[in-house]
Amino acid sequence: MIARLLSAALVAGFLASVVATGLQLALTSPLILQAETYEGEGAHAALAPFLDAAPDAPFAALIVPAHAHAHGEGGHDHGKAEEWQPAPGLQRMAFTGLATLVGGVGYALLLAAVMLALRREPTPQSGLVVGIAGFLAVALAPAIGLPPELPGMGAAPLVLRQSWWLMTVIATGLGLYLIAVRRVPLTILGGLVLIVAPHLAGAPQSVDTVSSQVPPAAAAQFAARSLAIGFVFWAVIGLAYGWAWGLFGREAGTRANA
Amino acid sequence: MTTATLQTQATTRSADGARALLVAAFLGLGLVFVAGFAPATVLHNAAHDFRHAQNFPCH
């Protein structure tokens, strides 16, 4: 059972990450690169060490308030100029793909765990349903309070945003479970309360939202594309997990009969 | 097959399922943490574009 689950999750995570990586490279990465040119505002890679060394430099003021560190410009919030980062171009794309693979397999394993806990036999259909629930809980619900952001957009402290994100994902997931699986008036009411509560509490908001240089059109496009990719990612994970579960089950059956 | 064997089988299956559930949840959370949350700068930089695109809170 463990081998079948892990194999199916690996296959699903791999297939979904291939699709999502293609979409990210085509749709979101160009916008991220474009936004990073605003993040540094006039600072070039050659100037970055100088900026770190001399925070009083006249143009450093442009960088610090908008954003604690300049991505892809060699600067970093730890004050070290030489933190490793992937080289621009192919290497950066490869690491984006690798991160998507790790995340995709991780999501597929969590989807597998949820289906097992719910005692749902994984099929492409049931996988898709859980995958869409995953999209709602992990991508859409947190995006209501913390819309997908381009680098260089002002934002509240990271730990606050991560806590709110995690809380919202758990509350929404639990709420969906109470509504869709338990399905009695009391749990539906409780589920609705759980789903709405994080948004009533409110996401940590940025103190400084006006000074961002990133064009609003690019930011809006990024948010929409990010959610679209998230939907495809989760849908493929669910579909492929159900499919691969059946595939590995058949193979095990064939071996047992031989 | 006696009732006892059937019961043993059922117990083994549910224990097996519980173990699979724990392994999947633990590994899954670990991988998602590494890809989406790990604060190490190297991991953050490597996964940067993925984190932005998947709307993980990032820097």
Task: Mark residue B27 as left, alpha or beta (left: phi above 0; alpha: psi -120 to 50; beta: remaining).
Answer: alpha
Q: Is residue A40 part of a domain?
A: no
A165 touches chain B (CB under 8 A): yes
Question: For A3-42, what is each residue's pLDDT tens digit?
Answer: 999 999 999 999 999 999 999 999 999 999 999 998 765 4
Distance from CA of B26 to the nearest CA of A (A): 8
Residue B38 has φ and ψ, to the nearest 5°, of -50, 125
Residue listed under structure tokens 């994984």: A122
Residue A65 pLDDT level (bands cut at 50, 70, 90): very low
d(CA A217, CA A213): 12
What is the reported pLDDT for A221?
Answer: 97
What is the reported pLDDT for B58?
Answer: 82
Higher-scoring residue by pLDDT: A94, A43: A94
Q: Given an 8 Å threshold on Cβ–Cβ distance, is A95 in contact with B51?
A: no
What is the reported pLDDT for A49?
Answer: 41
What share of chain B has pLDDT > 90, as a percent?
69
Q: Given an 8 Å threshold on Cβ–Cβ distance, is A83 in contact with B28?
A: no
Q: Determine the structural domain holding residue A114 and report its residue range.
A: 2-28+92-155+206-257
Q: Is residue A186 part of a domain?
A: no
Nearest CA in chain A to B31: A106
Residue A254 pLDDT level (bands cut at 50, 70, 90): confident
Mean pLDDT (chain A) is 86
Mean pLDDT for the stretch of residues A238-254 = 93
Q: Is residue A212 part of a domain?
A: yes
Q: Is residue A50 part of a domain?
A: no
Q: Given an 8 Å threshold on Cβ–Cβ distance, is B35 in contact with A102?
A: yes
Residue A46 pLDDT level (bands cut at 50, 70, 90): very low
DSSP state of B37: T
Residue A87 structure tokens: 């080289």
Residue type, position B6, single letter: L
What is the reported pLDDT for A251?
Answer: 82
Which of A24, A69, A109 lies at the smallest CB-CB distance from B27?
A109
Q: Is residue A210 part of a domain?
A: yes
Question: For A100-145, what is each residue's pLDDT tens digit?
Answer: 999 999 999 999 999 999 999 999 999 999 999 999 999 999 999 9
Higher-scoring residue by pLDDT: A144, A208: A144
What is the reported pLDDT for A141?
Answer: 98
Residue B40 has φ and ψ, to the nearest 5°, of -55, 130
Higher-scoring residue by pLDDT: A50, A228: A228
User: Which is nearest to A209 in space by CA: A254, A146, A256?
Assistant: A146
Could you tell me how far CA A127 lies from the centroid of its own chain? 20
Q: Is residue A190 part of a domain?
A: no
Exposed/middle/buried for residue A147 (C-beta within 10 Å: 0-12, 13-18, 19+): middle
How many A×B Cβ pairs under 8 Å? 151
A128 touches chain B (CB under 8 A): no
Q: What is the pTM of this model?
A: 0.85
Q: Given an 8 Å threshold on Cβ–Cβ distance, is A162 in contact with B37?
A: yes
Q: Is residue A178 part of a domain?
A: no
What share of chain A has pLDDT > 90, as a percent?
72
A141 touches chain B (CB under 8 A): no
DSSP codes of every residue in chain A: -HHHHHHHHHHHHHHHHHHHHHHIIIIIHHHHHHHHHHHHTT--TTTHHHHHH-TTSTTHHHHTTT-SS-TTTT--TTS-TT---PPTTHHHHHHHHHHHHHHHHHHHHHHHHHHHHTTPPP-HHHHHHHHHHHIIIIIIHHHHHS----TTS----HHHHHHHHHHHHHHHHHHHHIIIII-SHHHHHHHHHHHHHHHHH-PPPPS--SS--S-HHHHHHHHHHHHHHHHHHHHHHHHHHHHHHHHHHHHHHHHHH-
Could you tell me how far CA B13 lies from the centroid of its own chain? 20
What is the reported pLDDT for A72?
Answer: 41
Q: Given an 8 Å threshold on Cβ–Cβ distance, is A99 in contact with B47?
A: yes
Which of B16, B42, B52 lies at the smallest CB-CB distance from A32?
B52
What is the reported pLDDT for A207?
Answer: 67
Tell me which chain B residues have a C-beta less than 8 angstroms from the C-beta of A142.
Answer: 55
Mutation choice for A interface testing from B54, B56, B58 by most A CBs within 10 A: B54
Exposed/middle/buried for residue A203 (C-beta within 10 Å: 0-12, 13-18, 19+): buried
Question: For A72-109, what is each residue's pLDDT tens digit?
Answer: 444 344 445 578 999 999 999 999 999 999 999 999 99
What is the reported pLDDT for B7?
Answer: 65
Residue A49 structure tokens: 């060490």
Distance from CA of B1 to the nearest CA of A (A): 19
Question: For A146-191, what is each residue's pLDDT tens digit?
Answer: 999 999 887 889 999 999 999 999 999 999 999 999 999 999 999 9
d(CA A169, CA B59): 19
**pLDDT < 50 stretches in chain B:** none
What is the reported pLDDT for A40?
Answer: 63
What is the reported pLDDT for A258?
Answer: 65
Q: Is residue A151 part of a domain?
A: yes
User: Which is nearest to A69 in space by CA: A55, A56, A87?
Assistant: A55
Count of domains observed in chain A = 1
Does residue A67 have a pLDDT over 70? Answer: no
Give contacts of B 17-56 with A, CB under 8 A.
17, 19-21, 23-25, 27-37, 41-42, 45-56
Inter-axis angle of helices A216-257 and A29-40, to 10 degrees? 140
Q: Given an 8 Å threshold on Cβ–Cβ distance, is A24 in contact with B50?
A: yes
